[in-house]
Structure 1
Amino acid sequence: MKNFILVASVLAVSLGSLGSCDGTDEGPADADVDVVTLSDGGDVEVSLDAGDSCPTDGAIKNIGQECCCGACYPSQTCTCVGGEWACMATDACLLPGCPDVVDATDPDADATHDVDVADADVADAEIPDVAMCPATEPGFDATCSAEGLECDFGQECCCGACYPSLHCSCSGGGWACYATDACFLPGCSDTADALDTGDTPDTADAPDAPDPAPDVADTDADAPDAATCPAKAPSFEDGCTSEGLQCDFGQECCCGKCYPSLHCSCSGGSWACYATDACFIPGCPDASDDASDAGPDTGADAAPDTANDTANDTANDTDASSAACAEATQALAATLYAKPQAFTVAVRLDHDTLAPLGYAIVAGPYQSLDESAARAEAESVTGYGTGTLLSGPTPEDAWVFYESPGDFGGVGVVSAHTGLAIFGGSIVWDGTGDITWPTAWAPISDLATGCEAPGGFGTTRGFDLVQEGSLSGEDVAAALATVSTTALPAAIWQGGYAFDAVVLRYPRSVGAFDPSSAEWILLISGGWLE
């Protein structure tokens, strides 16, 4: 069984075209697995499906737009690599909330006044009790007390109606949130534009976007040929004939501009579509400035305020951190969602300090398997598939096989989502074992820090390979908390869903346990929902 390993870097954009709508790979039999490897020297070896051609390596093209918090951004950023376009959704408006946001549908609105979102016309969107729901979407570690409370945040519009972008529920004292992907639609009936009070058009045409926000480059939004793109978003089973054709549908507005809600590409005779989540960003630059004012401040407004220097420095640091998180999130999401698939991100932590040491990605098509097939995969790839099954006979997260070391033993883990080996390591009695799989790890600095997580990690549990038992909930939570403020959760939720997380306490040696060589292994799985 082939394995698909991606070692990602924020300096490298994931390549490859989207697969067919049913998640299968339409490429030749000997190219059913993409491999992207970044060596220490920066060399890149790429084996990918054919994509749209482009003229010059390094060329960058921005497509579409989305607006939030008084500013506007491209919906997609494409980079020319090896003669082909590699594109990723920016998710530029992944918002927890905006101070003093301009009305995205009114370019002449005064951005210095609050917009009363309670007055917005949100079709079919049930508005929860404003007094109980938080004003902005809760962070990953935010608590709540109103058990069962459900709150909606953000907005995206398509097919003549508008819907929340994020739905959160209070459960067990914490918030559980997910992106609605409300405009990831198989098709639209002839409906009126939800933002247009005039005559009902044949299709839900989007309103004109306002002028660009300050400090935001103009988008290169070349509209596709209207005669070629379908009038409505295609369904999963719809076929297509114009290979490489890219079409946008729906609309969501934030930061003063509007963007497509759904992006579809014709590949292998079928449509591959994904929700842009264009308004799912942590904030908007210069949100208090009028979105129609693209020039710098002049006169008295431009004078420095010495009393606010410290506050401004802090704000600048926060902006820099947010920018780094956004860049890391986009790069990682482009790798994880290069095609419809499931994946596991393996993260290594120092045993004593819980400091992250590196990460790797194992990804592939959805595949179910039984215990014998899982053992065969673990044995073939990791070297450890004949030991005790710790995870139970029908795990929904991962198969965990443990060979207790008489002299030599180890652990092999296989994803229940993809059927691929996701971790392996030897354990030596009174010696030092080593990780056998994955064989290459990316630097944890690629994931940035100080980021906001839009959702959790799904179901979680852990196994103690030192004591040969289960980990406590406290140990599992402490280990996962180390990556909850990196770009990893945001990248997972940007294009799909977090399914589950398995935590291992991996000793490398037993008999004489050596904490200096031991590690915590986090196996965080997610992907597209089929």
Structure 2
Amino acid sequence: MKEAMNEPMMRSHLRFPTLLSLATGLALTLAACDGPDKQIGQLDGDSGASGESGESGESGDSDESGDWDESGDSSDTSSSDDTGADDSCAPALADLQQKLADEQDNGNSCALVLRFTYESAEFLGWHINCAPPTPDLSLDEAQMMSAWPGDDESGTEDAYVLYTEPGDFGGVTYISKRSGMLFEGSIVWGGMGDILHPEHVEDPLMLGTGCLDTQPPAAVEVWAYNFVGGDLQVLPDESSAVWDVLWDTAALYAVTPGSTIAMIAYPRSVGDFVSDVAEFVVIIDYP
């Protein structure tokens, strides 16, 4: 169920709403607005999530991060003059947009996976994954791809969020029908689970900084998955700081209608919650 968010809270010059708990699931909406503020509101009927597209291909486990252009050449697509961003943001955004366009021309869809510390929202790194869309991927097929083939907690037709509740061991896997397996991590009783995918992340600075004055992005869906505890669809309060960091990078400004965003509160441990090893994982799945 998609629901309009209300009661906006000011964070810097950005507005973020309180999270609403819904019995049938939760979808937030990240929307562009006129003026300096960026807010979350209801998706327009004409800009809802895109339909499933592309031919069914392989499972989508390709790693395309090695093709990332670090040159910062943004002369053809963006500049600090036309975006209002600083010198770090503009080339990073241009590189990201060019990467997405090139992969789309090759029949692929891409997603960014971004990791943040739980306590302080420190940006740990990011990974880009591009693969042929698999719109017909079944739950059984997704579970066969996962080390933790649990129940699907996604609430959306675009992805599977497989969760195996830990006894001694468990885990969570995020598999997109657009761009393949994007995240997989174990959860260990009294220990520290491992992130199995992505295996490595890129330097956060490669996504730029100082992007707050960039033209706001198009409206997109935002889905919450809280595996730390409490309501699955309501993220912990600590998640609000992640948005502040994320808005400062180029990642959100490349979204187009049909993109989806998921935020996962990933505990790593179970039993006594250890906040200094837990993470927030943000997935931006571009169409």
Pair member with larger Rg: 1
Question: What is the DSSP-based 3-state SS (H/G/I as helix, E as strand, rest coil) of the residue aligned with 1:322?
Answer: coil
- Residue by residue over 1:410-439, the C-alpha shift from the partner in whole angstroms, topping out at 9 and shown as x without a partner, is 111100323x11100010001111100011
Which residue in the other structure is 2:154 paired with? 391
Flag structure 1 segments of 5+ consecutive residues without an equivalent: 14-76, 78-87, 96-280, 284-320
- The 1:474–1:347 alpha-carbon spacing in structure 2 relative to 1, beyond 3 Å, is same
Flag structure 2 segments of 5+ consecutive residues without an equivalent: 1-58
| Residues 1:504 and 2:264 are matched in the alignment | yes
Which residue in the other structure is 1:421 paired with? 181
Q: Taking structure 1 as the reference length, what is the TM-score of the superposition?
A: 0.39
Aligned length, in residue pairs: 221
Which residue in the other structure is 1:430 paired with? 190
Which residue in the other structure is 1:361 paired with? 128
Which residue in the other structure is 1:458 paired with? 220
| CA shift for structure 1 position 401 | 0.7
| Residues 1:486 and 2:230 are matched in the alignment | no
Which residue in the other structure is 1:332 paired with? 96
Question: What is the DSSP-based 3-state SS (H/G/I as helix, E as strand, rest coil) of the residue aligned with 2:77?
Answer: coil
- The 1:357–1:456 alpha-carbon spacing in structure 2 relative to 1, beyond 3 Å, is farther
| Residues 1:92 and 2:78 are matched in the alignment | yes
After superposition, residues 145-164 of structure 1 pair within 5 angstroms as none
- Residue by residue over 1:276-324, the C-alpha shift from the partner in whole angstroms, topping out at 9 and shown as x without a partner, is xxxxx315xxxxxxxxxxxxxxxxxxxxxxxxxxxxxxxxxxxxx6221
Question: What is the DSSP-based 3-state SS (H/G/I as helix, E as strand, rest coil) of the residue aligned with 1:5?
Answer: coil
- Residue by residue over 1:239-282, the C-alpha shift from the partner in whole angstroms, topping out at 9 and shown as x without a partner, is xxxxxxxxxxxxxxxxxxxxxxxxxxxxxxxxxxxxxxxxxx31
Paired residues of 2:103 and 2:130 also in contact (CA < 8 A)? no
| Residues 1:3 and 2:53 are matched in the alignment | no
Alpha-carbon distance between aligned partners in 1 of 2:230 and 2:144, rounded to the nearest angstrom:
22
After superposition, residues 179-258 of structure 1 pair within 5 angstroms as none
Which residue in the other structure is 1:400 paired with? 161
- Residue by residue over 1:104-133, the C-alpha shift from the partner in whole angstroms, topping out at 9 and shown as x without a partner, is xxxxxxxxxxxxxxxxxxxxxxxxxxxxxx
- The 1:456–1:384 alpha-carbon spacing in structure 2 relative to 1, beyond 3 Å, is farther
Paired residues of 1:479 and 1:503 also in contact (CA < 8 A)? no
Q: Which has the higher helix share?
A: 2
After superposition, residues 273-288 of structure 1 pair within 5 angstroms as 281-283=82-84
1:502 is matched by which residue type in structure 2?
A
1:282 is matched by which residue type in structure 2?
T
Alpha-carbon distance between aligned partners in 1 of 2:159 and 2:111, rounded to the nearest angstrom:
10
1:510 is matched by which residue type in structure 2?
V
| CA shift for structure 1 position 524 | 0.8
Paired residues of 1:453 and 1:489 also in contact (CA < 8 A)? no
Q: Percent identity?
A: 27
2:93 is matched by which residue type in structure 1?
T
Q: Taking structure 2 as the reference length, what is the TM-score of the superposition?
A: 0.69
Paired residues of 1:398 and 1:502 also in contact (CA < 8 A)? no
| CA shift for structure 1 position 336 | 2.5
Paired residues of 2:261 and 2:283 also in contact (CA < 8 A)? yes
Paired residues of 2:235 and 2:265 also in contact (CA < 8 A)? no
